[in-house]
Amino acid sequence: MDIDQCRPVKRLAWTMEMSKPVPAQPGLLGTIREVEEGQVYYSPSRIPFQVIARGKHAQDCTIPMVIFTNLLPTPDQPQGVIWTLEESVFLSIYQEAL
């Protein structure tokens, strides 16, 4: 493991404030080019999720992680649940509005 990749990420300071309303039914969706904090992305079921922060995996800090929350309820969870995924998985599953 490269120690330079294990530097701490910035502290998490997060609120549910959004700069613009999120459409419940977005138009065209496309591949995410780069994950950005505060940006809204859509699941395969078109539920909007907002990225809260980017982090590191606790057991291997070379693995980038995405920390995000659902802006609408999912079929099995209420709105506002905190989720984490490896960044590579997030990029392959979620889409951004075009």
CATH number of the structural domain spanning residue 98: 2.30.30
In a domain, 2, yes or no: no
pLDDT of res. 1: 46
91's enclosing H/E stretch is helix 87-93
Domains contained in the chain, number: 1
pLDDT of res. 49: 96
In a domain, 48, yes or no: yes
| Identity of the amino acid at 35 | V
Chunked into runs of 10 residues, the chain (98 residues) has average pLDDT values of: 52 47 69 94 94 96 96 94 97 92
In a domain, 8, yes or no: no
Which pTM was predicted?
0.75
In a domain, 25, yes or no: no
In a domain, 12, yes or no: no
| Residue 86, CA atoms < 13 Å, CB-side half-sphere | 8
pLDDT of res. 77: 95
Q: Please tell me the distance from the alpha carbon of residue 79 to that of residue 9, in angstroms, as a whole number.
A: 26
In a domain, 23, yes or no: no
Question: 14: how many CB neighbours lie within 10 A of its CB?
Answer: 14
pLDDT of res. 27: 75
Domain that holds residue 66: 35-98
Calculate the dihedral angle through the C-alpha atoms of 63, 10, 79, 90, rounding to the nearest 10 degrees.
-30
